[in-house]
Amino acid sequence: MSHSESPPVSSPPRDNDISLPDAPPLTGEEEGGSQSTPTNEQTNGTSTGSNINLDNLFDADSSDEEALNSSAAFATSSPPESSSSQNPPSSSLPTATAPLPGTTSAGGGAGAKYTDPQIMSQFYTRLFPFRTLFHWLNHSPKPSPSFSNREFAFTLSNDAYLRYQSYPTADLLRKDILRLIPSRFEIGPVYTANPRDRKTLRKSTAFRPLAKEVVFDIDLTDYDDIRTCCDKANICLKCWSFVTMSIKVVDAALREDFGFEHIMWVYSGRRGAHAWISDKVAREMDDEMRKALAGYLEVIKGGAQGGKRVNVKRPLHPHLVRSLALLRPYFQTVILEDQDPFESEKGAERLLSLLPDPALVAALRKKWDAAPGRSSNRKWADIDALAATGVSKTLDTKKLQEAKQDILLEYTYPRLDVEVSKKRIHLLKSPFVVHPGTGRVCVPITGNASTNPKEVESFDPLSVPTVTELLAQVDAYKSATSGADGDIMDGFVADGLSKVRKLLDWEKTDLKGYVERFDAFVKEVLRAEARGKREREEDGEGVHGVNGPDGMEF
Amino acid sequence: MIKSDIQRLDAKRRHVNERKKQFAVAVYKQQDYPHRLNFYELPPTSEISLEDFEQWAIHRLRILAEIEACSFRNKTPQETAAHIEPLLKKYLPLSANSAAAGGVIDQRLRDEREKDHYSHFILRLAFSGTEDLRRRFARVETMLFKLRYQTDDGRERRAFVESLNFDWEMVTGDEKRQLGEQLLAATPGVKKLDEENWFRVDWTLVPELVEYRTVFLRRGQAYVPMREQTSMIMTEFTNRLEKALELTSRAPRLDEDDRLSPILNHLTKNFATPDGAYNDSDAALPGAPINASNIDSLSQHFPLCMKNLHSTLRQNSHLKHFGRLQYTFFLKGIGLSLEDCLIFWRHSFKLITDDTFNKEYKYNIRHAYGDVGGDANRRGRGYSPYSCQKILTEHPPGPGEAHGCPYRHFSIDNLTSMLQATGVNERDVLKGVKEDVEKKRYHIACNRVFEWTHKGEIKKVKDDGTWEAAELDTIVHPNAYFKRSYLLRNLGKMAGDNVRTKE
Ligand SMILES: [Zn+2]
């Protein structure tokens, strides 16, 4: 499971934030690593395209100064360290001291080693996009309670689970992550108070979740009853198509029906995907609304064992009409051709059990018994063909077509793990962490599945870089660009303003495209946030509204 | 409202935006209450007396407590309405415009609406303190609003809804035709477009419709059929009230006005555990044989707390201090004279001498009756019998003490066996009591037991209409329990109507 539910807020288990029993010692490499990062942050803060545009957003805003200052302050928050960063240490240290696990492996065999603290330390130091993560969760350049009251939960390399961690700034989050070197971490809600203070609050009700991105979780294990190519943790491109079509269906509903605009789909690192909806209205949805949204999208119900799993009213709700139209081509290719689930006797029986007319079912069974190994494609075609011959006197054609629609939905409609979507307190694995089993980074699939369907369709989970590959790419870049004189040539780039800046480590790797995708998504979130803030203030409600000290009393 | 209070409200209002401010100023001059129903968007502005402030709030609280009791006991909406209607008439009447001559709002209607308006806002102040109180208050206020909404005159209700200026947009002819197919597909039970009209709202206002996919959605807007309007208005009422309560809770308390704080604190406490003020009419049982030798047989009408004191007294021939107080006041409340009370205690304390009794106990009993003590005590004729609230909240019993409320202060096992010993043995009732107690609804548990033990009589007085519903409201005072029990068990034996007339 990539998420977990918080215990009831009123009575958290006693040891939910056990202190770290064996903190990984700070090694020389790690110190070196953390020294090099402020440079990264600094250059990042002043020269990436997203930040220049971002500053423009605040043109007409009195908080302009503050926004700039705070983002500058953030970028240079560790001046003593950055002074020594002229000579960043080589990232090749882990390779030198311990061979990197399976850089070319398809992900699996070398499992345990991906959580190697040295590798993770290098990853967090050089590659993890803390700054963008901060902007995303904070929705503004200036640190706010959206970030400081946000829960982070860490899984440490010794499997200890550390909940209710929080940080005033991205820099402090980064420092603590470099100290703890978690094998992965999760993001929880923004609370009414700082999660670290929750036990000191006088009233238990003073600490409750206030806001969180609306999230969805799709996991291929939920497809094991209809997926014939792989099972359990394994995936291939064929079954990844289930995720692809799910993303398209859910994304379309979220945008067209609910009007959300900021939906990022993230690869979960092994066999699924997460959606993060970052619209302000989505973040502020209460649990009742979340439950309603999840219910609206949930069509497949019940377990894999027997029973009709799709029960939808007729006429079909417009959401289902649209979903059917999106899914129909996938049913042909992914189900009937790739998965071929009705070829087996068991699969054929399942199909027959979902058809309404006993006489038709008997005729189909007879035909299929006589032709073992008949493909799903032909069996599916047999249904209408036999029905047309009039084998059944009682056949209700409309019912049959509805049953076929239901079957199509059962085999293609998104299977959502809706529990994670229903409550603000649920935690979900952060984007860009490393999946400990595969070593793959949880990269964004797309920031907008509806306008960039290609990004969804062409996403190949098996080509997502692993942490070790990425670190090797940093090193390879270095050796390729080092001239005979040493490191003078190491990755400088013109930033378009007649300045030259040093290339960031992630820019030297296959992570580049994904980080830029994340940046672009977050930029839009911030832009919308700034626009919304301005509009609220012009409307006279931003300053004296709900949060103002002088809000109306009654 | 009270002067300083008004200024405070007014000061808060200066911060709303221009459009709202103009509106607020216009209303400030005069609230003319054009509609019977009120969404309580604007706080009251003119002054009222301290007496009205308190009295109106108490009256409203009484209604809310009854509504809550009905819901705790799973009464149907119809049963609740039947139960509450007469109480509303008595404590918080609210007439339709059509009730006035020519439909012109007269002084009576204005007064009723003013009381409704003020009492609502006073209770907001009292119940904004904790999340639990806010939630309960919003819930029962919504139930009250719904009760009234459903009985409102159709035309007046439409006018009221229009006056709310909700962000609801009617779906016009063109859009309706354009989206016709989707609207029909998404709205169960509607076959033709001209059978229904739709309005557009933010989808978050209709979560249930969204969850069950029974509404058309487009870009965050839900297309809601007109027939859902009532439930939407209720949701809107609750949402707005919850938000407003949240704001009230964050505002500084009314410390500046010493006169209001005690009243508000009292109201707050009263909602937590309803307070039944004792009045002399609770004692008046003319002709009833209430004397020292009769207490044993009268104890069948006692609530569990007093039964417990009585049986403990019989068992030990003694009661400790707080037990003596609680029981003496109660006995005084049922109409036992001072003389009989002295006899009763003297006989009950079998193990002590007359001398000890006279020296250590007699004075306190006389004091309780106002026979001795300072002028104030005598003028007030001593102490009032304890209400359930007092018994529930003050002086929890220690080891060897028998006062307090068994529903609250006994373990569930002890409570169950005591109930069984008094004849309450139906499993459903005991289960209900257990649930009530777990939810800390002690007085509901006690009323549940009362209703079960008197179910035959209650049905009779309801069926033949001899008792008004207001006379069967929730019991929140041990003496009310006794009196009602006694009357129900002696139907027809008492000297006619005048016996149970409360006024
Ligand atoms: Zn596969």
For a pLDDT cut of 90, what percent of chain B falls above it?
45
CA of A339 to the centre of ligand 1 (A): 9
The pLDDT value given to residue A496: 58
CA distance A471 to A122: 8
Mean pLDDT highest for which of A457-461, B193-197, B293-297, B364-368?
A457-461
pLDDT for the residue numbered A304 = 58
Provide, as residue numbers in chain A, all residues whose Cβ is less than 8 Å from the Cβ of B203. 258
Cβ distance A318 to B186 less than 8 Å, yes or no, reads yes
- Tell me which of A15-24, A183-192, B426-435 is least confident: A15-24
Please tell me the distance from the alpha carbon of residue A279 to that of residue A282, in angstroms, as a whole number.
Answer: 5
Residues in chain B: 503
pLDDT of amino acid B387: 86
| Euclidean distance between CA atoms B486 and B500, whole angstroms | 10
Whether residue A469 contacts residue A103, with contact meaning beta carbons closer than 8 Å, is answered with yes
Phi, psi of B440 (to 5 degrees): 65, 30
- Residues A175-209 pLDDT 10s: 999 999 999 999 999 999 999 998 887 766 678 99
Question: Of the spans A17-26, B7-16, B288-297, which averages the highest pLDDT?
Answer: B288-297
CA distance A523 to B122: 47
Residue with tokens 């939810």: B439
Range with the poorest average pLDDT among A231-235, A297-301, B286-290: B286-290
Question: What per-residue confidence (pLDDT) applies to A58?
Answer: 29
Give me the percent of chain A exceeding a pLDDT of 90.
62
Q: At what angle do helices B412-421 and B427-438 cross, to 10 degrees?
A: 150
Is the confidence at residue A460, as pLDDT, over 80?
A: yes
| Interchain proximity B16–A544, CB inside 8 Å | yes
pLDDT tens by residue, B55-77: 999 999 999 988 988 877 767 88
- In Å, how far is B326's CA from the nearest CA of chain A? 34
- d(Cα A517, Cα A464) in Å, to the nearest integer? 14
Mean pLDDT of B471-483: 88
Average pLDDT over residues B261-279: 70
Which of A316-325, A339-348, B122-131, B426-435 has the weakest average pLDDT? B122-131
Q: Is the pLDDT of residue A12 over 90?
A: no
Mean pLDDT of A419-433: 95
A382 neighbors A390 (Cβ within 8 angstroms)? no
Q: What is the mean pLDDT of residues B440-450?
A: 92
Quote the mean pLDDT of chain B: 84
- Letter string b/e over residues B444-465, b meaning 16 or more CB atoms within 10 A of that residue's CB: bbbbbbbebbbeebbeebeeee
Using the 8-state DSSP alphabet, how is residue B43 labeled?
-
Residue range A75-84: mean pLDDT, rounded: 33
**Between A466 and A504, residue with greater pLDDT:** A466
A151 is catalytic: yes
Residue B380's pLDDT band (boundaries 50, 70, 90)? low
Concatenate the DSSP letters of all residues of A157-187 into one string.
Answer: TT--EEEEE--SSHHHHHHHHHHH--SEEEE
More confident call, B378 vs B394: B394
- Residue B70 annotated as part of some ligand binding site: no
CA distance B259 to B49: 11
Alpha helices in B127-228 (DSSP H): 131-151, 154-163, 173-178, 180-186, 207-211
Written as one string, the DSSP assignment of A23-44 is PPP--HHHHHHHHHHHHHHHHH
A536 vs B contacts (CB less than 8 Å): none
Which residues of chain B make contact with A541, given a CB cutoff of 8 A? 17
pLDDT at site B271: 72
pLDDT beyond 80 at A529: yes
Catalytic residue, from A30, A41, A151, A516: name it: A151
- Helical packing angle, B442-453 and B478-489, nearest 10°: 10
Q: Mean pLDDT, to the nearest integer, of A62-76?
A: 33
Q: Could you tell me what percentage of chain B is helix, strand and coil, using 3-state DSSP and rounding each to the nearest 5?
A: 65, 5, 35
Instruction: Quote the CA–CA distance of B291 and B325 in Å, as a whole number.
Output: 19
Residue B149 CA, distance from chain mean position: 19
* Mean per-residue pLDDT, A197-226: 88
> Is-catalytic flag, A219?
yes
Domain residue extents for chain A: 39-292+416-538, 305-412
Asked if residue A305 has pLDDT above 70, the reply is no
User: Which phi and psi (to 5°) does residue A266 adopt?
Assistant: -125, 135
The answer to whether residue A323 scores a pLDDT higher than 50 is yes
pLDDT per residue as tens digits for the range B145-157:
999 998 888 889 8
The predicted pLDDT at position B466 comes to: 84
- For residue A32, is pLDDT > 80? no
% of residues, chain B, pLDDT over 70? 86
Q: Is A318's CB within 8 Å of B43's CB?
A: no
Closest CA to B96 of B83, B106, B84, B109: B109
**Least trusted range by pLDDT, from A218-227, A354-363, B123-132:** B123-132
> What CA–CA distance (Å, rounded) separates B41 from B37?
12
Over residues B299-327, the mean pLDDT reads: 93
Identify each DSSP E strand in A307-381 by its residue range: none
For residue A264, the cross-strand partners are: A276
pLDDT at A348: 96
Q: Are A525 and A140 in contact (CB under 8 A)?
A: no
Q: Which residue has the higher pLDDT, B490 or B20?
A: B490
| Closest Cα in chain B, distance from residue A210 (Å) | 14
- What per-residue confidence (pLDDT) applies to A497? 58
Average pLDDT on A83-88 reads: 38
- Phi, psi (deg, nearest 5) at residue A441: -85, 140
pLDDT class of B287 with cuts at 50, 70, 90: confident
Report the 10 Å Cβ neighbour count for A49: 13
C-beta of residue A209 within 8 angstroms of C-beta of residue A190: yes
Sign of the torsion formed by the C-alpha atoms of A276, A282, A285 and A288: negative
3 state SS of A275:
strand
Q: Which of A219, A357, A406, A507 is catalytic?
A: A219
Query: Which pLDDT value is given to residue A551?
Result: 28
pLDDT greater than 90 at residue B276: no
pLDDT of residue B214: 95
Burial string for A526-551 (b: 16+ CB within 10 Å, else e) reads: bbbbbeebbeebeebbbebbeeeeeb
Confidence label for A79 from pLDDT (cuts 50, 70 and 90): very low
Q: For the segment A151-166, what is each residue's pLDDT rounded down to a tens digit?
A: 999 999 888 999 999 9
Confidence of residue A381 (pLDDT cuts 50, 70, 90): very high
Looking at per-residue pLDDT, the higher value among B233 and A263 belongs to A263
pLDDT (mean) for B12-28: 38
- For the segment A91-134, what is each residue's pLDDT rounded down to a tens digit? 433 333 333 343 333 334 444 578 789 999 999 999 999 999 99
Query: Over the stretch B99-110, which tens digit does the pLDDT of each residue have?
Result: 888 888 888 999
Q: Is B24 on the interface with A (CB under 8 A)?
A: no
Domain ranges of chain B: 2-162+235-272, 167-228, 280-499
B2-162+235-272 CATH choice from 3.30.460.10, 3.40.1550.20, 1.20.930.80, 1.10.132.20: 1.20.930.80
Q: What is the mean pLDDT of residues B370-385?
A: 71
Q: At a CB cut-off of 8 Å and minimum separation 6, what does A523 contact? A: A50, A53, A54
Q: Give burial (CB, 10 Å; 0-12/13-18/19+) of A518.
A: buried
DSSP β-bridge partners for residue A209: A191
Class of the domain covering A39-292+416-538: alpha beta
- How far apart, in Å, are the Cα atoms of A192 and each of A8, A14, A212, A279? 15, 21, 12, 19
The CA distance from B203 to B223, in Å, is 8
The pLDDT of residue A296 is above 50:
yes
Is A553 close to B8, i.e. CB distance below 8 A?
A: yes
Q: Mean pLDDT, to the nearest integer, of A467-475?
A: 95
Its pTM surpasses 0.90: no
Residues A364-384: what's their mean pLDDT? 96
Please give the distance of CA A376 from its chain centroid, rounded to a whole number. 34
Q: Do A318 and B185 touch (CB under 8 A)?
A: yes
**pLDDT above 70 (res A383):** yes
Say how far apart CA B470 and CA B492 lie, in whole Å: 20
Known binding residue B305? Answer is yes
Query: Is A433:A441 a contact under the CB 8 Å cutoff?
Result: yes
Is pLDDT above 70 for B501?
no
Closest chain A CA to residue B207: A292
Whole-angstrom distance, CA of residue A395 vs CA of residue A388:
10
* CA A270/CA A439 separation, integer angstroms: 9
- For testing the chain A interface, which of B13, B15, B42 should be mutated: the one with the most A CBs within 10 Å? B15
CB A306 within 8 A of CB A354: no
The catalytic residue among A217, A338, A469, A529 is A217
